[in-house]
Amino acid sequence: MRARIKPSRLLQRLLPPLLFAFALAWMPAAAQTIDAASGTDALARVTQLANDVRAMRSVVSTPLGPYDLSTQCTWCSEHAWWGLGMCTRNTTETWNAKVDFTWTRARLNQVLLQAGQNADAFPNAYAPVRAWMNAIPSFTARFDKAADVVLTTQQQIKAGQGPNEQQRQAVTQALQDLVDALAGNAAQLDAATKSLATVLQRQSAYGPAIKQAIDSADQSARAALASLQQQASTHHCQDGLADKFNRIKGEFSTSMGQISAAFQKLEASRQAADRGLAFLLGAVVSSRTDIQSVMDQIKAAKSDALGSFLERLHLASAKAQWQQLAAYSSGLKS
């Protein structure tokens, strides 16, 4: 008889500490089933993470200028000596400046470059997770085939046909197939989770540095703009300058806000994906462990106890829920 490994101990081997904690919190009460609503929600979270990484990669290149600042005006610079308000000379001044704050965000550029490079690594790191999601329909077909053997046997016993040794052997083999399928599924998802974990952890580590760099760039740009505003005040032409300065400030603030929001959203998405992956892996591992336990008890018990053991599996519910996950996974875009 195979020794039963407790779900918590097996999860601790398979999952990083953070994911393990989430897995325990999210582990379903009926261990043989995966709640379909929670499962599809978990898949949606993981998929959303890929979308948010793409959004972050696009915002990395958000420009901070250059902004054009120019004004032109003509005024009377000389009047007739005899008075009467007659103007004898007009002067025209044209004033131009390029307002480019890119140089003010040197630290932010460096952090964004590193974060962008990490995002570039995301598709390769995410590929195993996506492969696992793509494999759910084929896994479900294998699960259904083995589960149908057990469910058919249950119906036979309820109808008074058995239990007998032949049924026990058929059920034992079917349960072994389920255990093997779930073990392979868990191993694939575990490897996929570990592949993604390093990239996600690095992405999370950029958060504080990005916030600090954004704050620093914002302060530096405002100081540069104030200096430029002081310089502009020495020129004769002032018409419309205040509005132009305000427009530049607004565009700069909008750009900085987009950068900040993209990273905040990505961090929230990363945490949600962690929880989703932990839930899925915890449910698969728990299901495998409990089916293994029932199978071991069937092997050790007499045939007349077969029906009572099979009632514990709730395979009809598990089968329906895996089918819902397979349908949802098939509709997801990579």
- Domains contained in the chain, CATH given: 7-67+106-330 (1.20.1170)
What residue has token string 């945490």?
Answer: 271
pLDDT digits (tens, 9 = 90+) for 63-106: 777 788 888 888 888 887 776 678 888 999 888 888 877 666 66
Of residues 46 and 116, which shows the higher confidence score? 46
Please tell me the distance from the alpha carbon of residue 240 to that of residue 255, in angstroms, as a whole number. 23
Q: DSSP string spanning 61-72?
A: T-----EEEEEE
User: Using the 8-state DSSP alphabet, how is residue 304 labeled?
Assistant: G
Return the amino acid letter for 14. Answer: L
* Mean pLDDT score, 167-194: 91
Query: Which residues are paired to 97 by β-bridges?
Result: 69
Distance between CA atoms of 49 and 154, rounded to whole angstroms? 42
What residue type is 93 in one-letter code? Answer: E
Other residues' Cβ atoms within 10 Å of the Cβ of residue 284: 25
Most confident by average pLDDT, 12-16, 172-176, 232-236, 286-290: 172-176
DSSP annotation string for 81-125: TT-TT-EEEEEEEEEEEEE--GGGGHHHHHHHHHHHHHHHHHHHH
Q: Is residue 152 pLDDT above 90, yes or no?
A: yes
pLDDT at residue 170 above 80?
yes
Instruction: Assess contact for 176 and 145: CB atoms under 8 A.
Output: no
| Coil, helix or strand at residue 301 | coil
Contact (Cβ atoms closer than 8 angstroms) between residue 66 and residue 99: yes
* Residue 257 CA neighbour count, 13 Å, CB half: 6
Question: Against a cut of 0.85, is the pTM above it?
Answer: no
d(CA 39, CA 330) in angstroms, rounded, equals 14
- Is the pLDDT confidence value at 217 over 60? yes
- Burial code (b: 16+ CB inside 10 Å, e: under 16) for 55-75 equals bbbebbeeebbebebebeeee
Dump the DSSP string for 17-63: HHHHHHHHHH--SSTT---HHHHHHHHHHHHHHHHHHHHHHHHTT--
pLDDT band at 176, cuts 50/70/90?
very high
Q: What are residue 94's DSSP bridge partners?
A: 72
DSSP structure string for 202-266:
HHHHHHHHHHHHHHHHHHHHHHHHHHHHHHHTTSS--TTHHHHHHHHHHHHHHHHHHHHHHHHHH
96 close to 235: Cβ distance less than 8 angstroms = no
Q: Tokens at residue 216, please?
A: 């620093």
- Among 80-94, 147-161, 208-222, 305-319, top mean pLDDT goes to 147-161
